A and B are shown apart, each in its own frame.
Chain A
Amino acid sequence: DVKVTQSSRYLVKRTGEKVFLECVQDMDHENMFWYRQDPGLGLRLIYFSYDVKMKEKGDIPEGYSVSREKKERFSLILESASTNQTSMYLCASNLGDRDGSPLHFGNGTRLTVT
């Protein structure tokens, strides 16, 4: 069965800390995505990647960076965490060669920045 695994379900960090959120997929998918989900705002795309070492900004990239050194792993980095980055973070992946390929999501990391 298809699986996207996020390393932590809950994370509490202090303002100013560097934070790494890890995501691994076992489906050999080309595309990987990071979203954040906030009440009333829905899912918003932060960054995505079409291939190893490739990355593109989504709708809200400010304050974030990403890394994709291997096909199966996509990391989201908060260089200096701030309280407005408290949110649910969702990683997803899909096939790159088929238009409309469904997204497969992990179960999210709920990050609290204090």
Chain B
Amino acid sequence: SQKIEQNSEALNIQEGKTATLTCNYTNYSPAYLQWYRQDPGRGPVFLLLIRENEKEKRKERLKVTFDTTLKQSLFHITASQPADSATYLCAPEGGGGNKLTFGTGTQLKVEL
């Protein structure tokens, strides 16, 4: 069955550093993958989409890579700020019809 793995432990980094979050998937080949941010008590908010024929996508301080051979996506936040502290969810396309399958998320804490 499809399986998505994200770092289950929280990632603590210092302000100004680059945060790198990992998403690994197995047993399928998604046509695209999305990343979401979720703050406590709120619904997830869409950040970026990357398609299988794209290696890298950028948006301001965010960068996503998609390696279909390794079955992995990396999510980078450069020059991190305390306001970037949140849980980040990886969501590969899950079998058509705009359905997504979500990972459990990685909590990021950016400290001063």
A residues lining the B interface (CB < 8 Å): 4, 31, 33, 35, 40-45, 48, 50, 58, 90, 92, 94-96, 98-108
Check if B63 is an interface residue, CB within 8 A of chain A: no
**CB<8 Å pairs between A and B, sample of 29:** A31-B97, A31-B98, A35-B102, A42-B102, A42-B104, A43-B44, A45-B94, A45-B99, A45-B101, A48-B99, A50-B97, A58-B99, A90-B43, A90-B44, A94-B98, A96-B98, A98-B98, A100-B98, A101-B98, A102-B46, A102-B49, A103-B44, A103-B46, A104-B46, A105-B43, A105-B44, A107-B42, A108-B41, A108-B43
How distant is the Cα of A57 from the Cα of B15 in the complex, in angstroms?
A: 43
A107 CB contacts on chain B under 8 angstroms: 41-43
Contact A43 B89 (CB under 8 A): yes
Known: A42-B102, A106-B43, A107-B43. 20 other contacts (CB 8 A): A31-B98, A33-B99, A40-B8, A42-B105, A43-B89, A43-B102, A45-B99, A90-B43, A98-B98, A99-B31, A100-B51, A100-B98, A101-B98, A102-B34, A102-B46, A103-B34, A103-B36, A103-B100, A105-B44, A108-B42
Interface size of B by Cβ–Cβ distance < 8 Å?
27
* Chain B 63-106 per-residue mask, 1 if CB under 8 angstroms from chain A, else 0: 00000000000000000000000000101011001111111110
